[in-house]
Structures are given as C-alpha cells and as structure tokens.
A and B are shown apart, each in its own frame.
Chain A
Amino acid sequence: MKAVRARWIDRTVGSGLGLLSLAPMVTVVGLAAYLVASATPVFRYMGWRFFTSLQWAIGNQYANHAVVVHGVKVMPDASFGALVFIVGTALTSFLALIAAVPVAFFAAAGSGYFVKGRIRHLLAGLVEMMAGIPSVIYGLWGLVVVAPAVTNYIGPWLNRVLSPIAFLSGPLGSETNLLVAVIVITLMIVPIIAATIRAVMERIPREMIESGLALGWTEGETFWRVVWPYARSAVVGGSILGLGRALGETMAVLMVSGDAMNILPQNLYSAIGTMAATIAGQLDSALTDPTHMALHALGALGLVLFTITVMVNLLARAIVKRASSGVSLAEEGS
C-alpha cells in the first residue's frame, strides 16, 4: 500500500512541478503580449517615424479634445520618436563594453591565474561584490563623484589629449552626460564579463598549465599559449552577457545620463537618453495623458528594448555554451 501511495505522490508532485516549470514561459509570453499590445497603436500612429523621429512629446495636455490620427486617439501634436533613445542606448552600451572588456580581462587573468595566494581570493571576491552593489548606489556615486570629476578633470584632460577627434572632444554640454553614464555602466558590467572568463579559465585542467610550464615557458607564455585559446571564446560570450546587462540598466543611467530628449548627442559630454531610463523617467509624465498613448509609447520603447535584450542574451548563452564545451574536450582528451 505504501508503494501505491508513493507513486501517487510522485505523479502529483511531478505534475505540479511540470506546471510550475511552465511559469517562466508563461511570464515571457505574457510580457511580450503586453508589449506588443501596447506598441501597436503607437506604430499605427507614427509608422516608421517611430524609429526615425527625434521628437518625443506627449502632446498638448491642455487641449480641449483629443484628436484621432490614423485611427488612434492622441492629444494634439503628440510625437513619439524613439531615435534619440535608441542611439543613446546603443552608444552607452557599446562604449561601456569597449571599456569593460579589457578591465574584465585583467581582473579575470589576475584573479584566475597570475595572482597567487590569499590575495587571489580577495581579488575574486571583490570583483563579485561589485556585481552585488545596487545600481542606485552606482548612480548616486556617479552623480556626486564621477560627474564633477568628469567636468573638472577628466573632461578637460581628454579634450587636450584627443582634441582633433570631434566626437571625443568639445564643449561640455551637461555635467551628467554620456561619458559619466559610460563610466558607471562599465563598472557595473565588468563583474559579469570577468566571471564568465574566469569560469572557463578555472575549468582548464591544472596539468594542461603545468605542461606549458614544464616545457620551460614562463607563466606569461603559458598563459597566452595554453589558457588564452580557451579563455578567448569566453570573452565573446561574457561580453555579450555584459552587453545584455548594459542595455537594460535603468536606475544608474537615469541618474547620470542627463535625461536628454529631442536632441542627439554632439560629443562625449552631451546629455543622452536611453530607452530604459526614459521609460522610468517619463512614467509620471505619461500617466497624465488621458488618451494613455504616452503610456503605450513607453511600452513601445519597452518592446524594442525587450526584443534587443532577448536576442542578445540568447546569443550570449549559445556562445558561452560553445566555449565551455571546448574546455570539456580538453578535459576528456577527446
């Protein structure tokens, strides 16, 4: 009788768990459905101009009536152009990635290979701790410490050093700007890139590294010839994971980006707007729109962000999986 009951329990628990495992898929599909529903009227109203227009305005809230354009009810003179935010998101994310990869590489090489003894654990722990710091704290620090430092020291210095290059030099548009946002995001994504590289490095069998050393190679030579070929593919995978994180970063960017609207950045020191920060920052204002179109427009921004991040994360996981299987080959000896 006990066996019968055990099997019943197994089946019930199994079905329950099976149902629960559908939850992530339901969530993702549900979110996507909401975003598409939200964005549809916006696309109908703006057409392709959603992606090409610089104008973001929720319309004249003091007008007497809403108007109907292309079958969609909006306040007069509303325009929902996402170009500024798409450019801002792309710029901050890619610039942060370019800065973060070398830093993460050194952190990983140091904490995973070159630095020995107790300092190694300390270094690895510190890098991981960086990932745990809430983004609002990065934002606050960025606003109070980094932004003035950029205005007073880093900006002028970079201007002197890089002056012929138009985008990297020029007048300071705003104390909170692209450069400050890039600095803050870089620090936030270094841990995930470093962790990905380090994970692959740590799976390399110790005897593989000893084989290099045993040939008379220095630690550095052994690193480049034995460790790097494996770590290399993790750099790509880790970068894309970091990119995914950077794309969605909201709070810190909101605090240090300058909340630009309707204008594209002239140089590193211009204020910018990103999709994520704009959704958060414009929410209050959007709620005042009686037609709700402003809110739908934020959802449309969300749809673009959602699509990009999902694709980037899928790509990252595929690449990281391939990197790890490369190391497995080494472990088994084919």
Chain B
Amino acid sequence: MVEVQTENRPMTALRLEHVSLTAGKHTILDDISMDLPDGRITALVGPSGSGKSSLLRIVNRLWDGVPRVRVHGSVWYGDTDLYGDRVDVSVVRSHIGMVFQRPTPFPKSIFQNIALPLKVHGTARSEISDRVEAALQTVGLWDEVSNRLHQPALTLSGGQQQRLCIARALAVEPTVLLMDEPASALDPKSRRRIDELIMSLKGTVTVLMVTHHLDEARHISERLGVLVNGRLAAFGETEAVFASENDVVAHYLHHHDED
C-alpha cells in the first residue's frame, strides 16, 4: 500500500530530531531523525548491533539513570520534548508502552498481570475486570484463558505469555507502542499470530517495531527505517525503501541472509 503524500498527510505521533546516544566516549547512535505517523506501524530493521533496540529505548526514556549513557537531541510527543525539563518519566511511560523480545509476565496470576498496572494507573476498581477482559479480547487470549484467570501467568505457553504482555501494555491505553522483536523468541505459528495482532492495532495505536525479519517488516509496516552502524541509512514508506538504490540499503535488504 503506497502512502499518498499530498494533502492527506497523516499526523505525526512522535518525532525524533537529531537524536544521538553516547556511552562515555563511544557513540552508539548518530544523528537520528524520523517521524512516526499516527496510528500506523513503523518498522526498524538493520544488521545486529546497529543500535535498533537502543534507539527504541530512547523513546520511553529507558536510558534514564544508566551511568555514563547520554541521550542527545529531542523526542517530540505532540509539542512536548520528552527530554525537556520538568517532564515526568512515569507520565511519559504511561503514554508510550513497550513489549520486549522475551515474554516478561510478572510472577502473578494472569488476571493480576493486567489488573495491577490498571490499578496503579488509577483505573476505578469497578472497571478493572471489564478492562482486563477487553485487553485479553484484543490480543485474542480471552477464549483461551477466561476459565483460568487466576492461575499463574507462567503456566501459559511462550506465545500466550507474549500476547499477555502485549495485552498488559495495551490495557493502559498508550498512544504509542514500542515493540522490540516481539515475535522473535517464538515459534513460527505464534509469530504469525502476533504479526496479525500487531496489524489489527492499526488506527488505534502508533507502533514502532524493531525486527530482523525483513519479510515480516515488509508485510506489516507502512514506514520503514534501516539502521546501519548507528546511523539511519534510509527512512520512508516501506515499499519505497525496499526499492531504494542506495548501496548500503539495497545490500542489506536484498542480499542479507536471514536466520
């Protein structure tokens, strides 16, 4: 699907402006600028070690408090620079959710995994049950777990746990969802389910997804960024990037061996 680039330009949910990441004297990311269209899926690909996961963690300020690591530049969320003064990190993270490579269910029941974040978020007690059910429905887990909500989340399979983590992130209704290779630790069937789930989020959540599966990126995303050695070698509509004649980009996208 080719994005129309004229008057119907989509709104930008998030804009990175000259973002760099340094650890001591070492530069991990150099001068990254990109904007994420609202409600769309943007994928970030690149060779291992290019800094994709590091870039993701900049958006929700997960580098805060890590010694010797510094973030330069600005991340604009609406007209607020997330790295400006007097920005409350907890508020940032309640608008920008994250799902990780390995499923990370808390050592609690399935129900509590979603109910607890909701409670902390300030959801009224009477609404929590409904919101938990809604979140589980969104990720397609409700039918599978509705009869055992109070069993430990660790009794679920890997794919189910990851969907639970996505449900947990979505339950607090973030506007942006960061995903760090969410399906890579799973079997192919689970991977496809997660991909379909992510695609179903179009229009409701802005997704920035890191992946090293190029076919997945091409299939799911509408915008694509190619990160090589800490620099953004290409960024734009997915099909346009795949058609790019730039040496570095073309080499990675077309002559790259996937595992």
Question: Which residues on B sit within 8 Å (CB–CB) of A219?
Answer: 65
Please name all residues of chain A whose beta carbon is closer than 8 Å to the beta carbon of B100 when the two chains form the complex: 207, 210-211
* Smallest CB gap from B68: residue in A: A117
Please determine whether B93 and A330 come into contact, CB atoms closer than 8 angstroms. Answer: no
Residues of B within 8 A of A229 (CB): 106-108
Taking the complex as formed, is A307 at the interface, i.e. its CB lies under 8 A from any CB of chain B? no
Are A334 and B156 interface neighbours, CB within 8 A?
Answer: yes
Tell me how many residues of A have a C-beta within 8 Å of chain B.
Answer: 26
Interfacial chain A residues near B91, Cβ < 8 Å: 216
Contact B90 A216 (CB under 8 A): yes
Bound Cα distance A214, B64 (Å): 12
A257-285: which have CB < 8 Å to B?
none
Name B117's closest neighbour in chain A (CB-CB): A215
Stretch among B157-165, B220-228, B241-249 lining the A interface: B157-165
If over half of A's interface residues share one DSSP class (helix, strand or loop), that class is named, otherwise mixed; here it is helix
* Chain B stretch 51-85: residues in CB contact (< 8 A) with chain A: 57, 60, 62, 65-68
Pair A215/B62 contact, Cβ less than 8 Å: no
* B43 proximal to A (CB < 8 A): no
Contact in complex: A221, B120 (CB < 8 Å): yes
A215 to B106, CA, bound (A): 12
Smallest CB separation, A325 vs chain B (Å):
12
Across the interface, name the chain B residue whose C-beta is closest to A209. Answer: B104
A214→B154 contact, CB < 8 A: no
The docked-state distance in angstroms from the alpha carbon of A230 to that of B106 is: 10
B13 within 8 A of A: no
Which of A117, A216, A217, A330 neighbours the largest number of chain B CB atoms within 10 Å of its CB? A216
Contact present for A216 and B107 (CB under 8 Å): no
Contact of A217 among B66, B90, B185 (CB under 8 A): B90
**A226: which of B66, B90, B106 is its contact (CB, 8 Å)?**
B106
Measured in the bound complex, the distance between the Cα atoms of B116 and A216 in whole Å is 12
Say how far A200's CB is from chain B's closest CB, in angstroms: 12
Q: Which residues of B contact A212 (CB under 8 A)?
A: 106
22 pairs from A and B in contact (CB 8 Å cutoff): A117-B67, A117-B68, A205-B102, A207-B100, A207-B102, A208-B104, A210-B104, A211-B104, A214-B60, A214-B93, A215-B93, A215-B117, A216-B89, A216-B90, A216-B91, A216-B92, A217-B120, A219-B65, A221-B120, A230-B107, A334-B157, A334-B161
Q: Given contacts A214-B169, A229-B106, A333-B161, could you give 8 more A-B pairs where the C-beta distance is less than 8 Å? A: A205-B102, A211-B98, A214-B62, A215-B168, A215-B172, A216-B94, A225-B116, A334-B158
